[in-house]
Chains A and B, each alone.
Chain A
Amino acid sequence: MTIVFSLFLLSMLVLVAVAVLRTDNLFTAVMLSGVFSLIMAANFFVLDAADVALTEAVIGAGISTVLFLGALALTSEQDRSPPVGSWVPLLTSSALGGVIIYAVMQAPRLGDPNAIVHMHVAPWYLEKTPELIDVPNVVTAVLASFRGYDTLGEVFVVFIACIGVMSLLGRVRPRRETISEETFSKQSRNLRHHLIPRVVGKMLIPFIVLFGLYVQFHGDFGPGGGFQAGALVAAGIILYALLEGDTRARQLVPEWFSSVLVALGAFTYASVGVACMVMGGRFLDYSVLDPHDAIHGQHLGILLVEAGVGMTVAGVMITIFHAFARRGIR
């Protein structure tokens, strides 16, 4: 059954990828890349990787499309032909693709129980999680506790990406040309005069934020966690910004607040690690957080760490959206 689903989904993936490359209207490319992310999310889901599917669906198909459209509003829609000829990139990518295909042929079959990766680390995680951490979702246990260093690195990568975007787009350039009063007054940077989207959208924003909080705290028991939750909360705020305009959205969630959120999230994660060291254990060893009960210490550590991740991701998405939206025509 998985084979039939994967057959459909992967062939659609190839078609959409070829179409994204071949089209010369960038708007079409943005829409088709949203479809690409959705097909990948469905593919991950069919392969039983629910956390990854949730992250891909929310970030790849939801927020990325909005950010790409925001960037597209600042440039033109037609793709320019590249200055270099297309033979060198074609040869390079064909060579690389050939190497990757050769390497994939050597990999074990999907789901093979005798594969090396299933023999040492994976059974250890599956055995030790109920004993040491006792959360039903092993993915969250691995992500937040067993491989906590990697997740710390990811949070800091997201933080650095935000700093990069803010340093490139943060300062508003002075306008080179002025537009007439008539055009300025005609411009509508929001959807306020469309009554139906405004009413329905505003009704849904609290549910999106609430669902984001649910995903954040439910990450121990089902698919979820900090990354998905942060993206969902940011999606709610971005929806408000689309409906009511950038100015009012910045009154709702001020820029200093989202910047503080970004830094506070990364700081929370790192300080949990330092607190573990202060209390006698190693860096990011949550068991020492509760002197009486190691498992409760692990739960507390995972809660704080995921909260830090969620705060950073939400702040970063909102900051990047405002960085693009603010540079629109004035």
Chain B
Amino acid sequence: MEWIYFVTCIGILVTMVLAVVRGLVGPSIFDRVLAVNMFGTKTVLFLAVVSFLSGRPDFLDLALAYALINFIGVFAVLLFFQSREVRRAAEAENEARR
């Protein structure tokens, strides 16, 4: 059974590498945020499978904690872009006034 866990872990790790590559390459910033979000959910799955692989189901708390924390970052990004519009409009106004 350990080999099945190991193969699953390798699959998840390869996907994590692909997500990181997309995060490094991705032409727009949204690609990078998508890569980070995907990396987060893959980390949750990786932590769950490795906790079973090492025989310690107590460590599922980490996966649960990160599953809850992961999407706060995406909401912060959404608010950041939303406030960026307002900031740019305000800057344009100040430039026009000068």
Contacts and interface: CB of A to CB of B under 8 A. Distances in A.
Contact of B86 (A42, A53, A183, A218): A183
Interface stretch (A160-168, A231-239, A284-292): A231-239
A31 B76 CA distance: 11
A98 to B, nearest CB: 27
Contacts of B17: 8, 12
A107 interface: no
B87 A45 contact: no
A54 B24 contact: no
A242 B80 CA distance: 10
A61 B40 contact: yes
B52 interface: no
A239 B87 CA distance: 22
Contacts of B64: 211
Contacts of B72: 62-63, 65-66, 235, 238-239, 242
Interface in A191-215: 191, 194, 197, 201, 204, 207-208, 211, 215
A329 B83 contact: yes
B61 A222 contact: yes
Interface range for B = 35 or more
Nearest to B25: A19
B80 A57 contact: no
A329 B62 contact: no
A322 B90 CA distance: 22
Interface of B: 6, 9-10, 13, 16-17, 20, 23-24, 29, 32-33, 35-36, 39-40, 43, 46-47, 50, 53-54, 58-59, 61-62, 64-66, 68-70, 72-73, 75-80, 82-84, 86-87, 89-90, 93-94
28 contacts: A16-B24, A27-B29, A32-B24, A41-B43, A41-B62, A42-B43, A42-B47, A45-B59, A45-B62, A48-B54, A50-B58, A57-B43, A58-B65, A62-B73, A65-B73, A66-B76, A73-B84, A179-B90, A183-B90, A189-B79, A191-B78, A194-B78, A204-B68, A222-B58, A223-B59, A223-B62, A242-B79, A329-B87
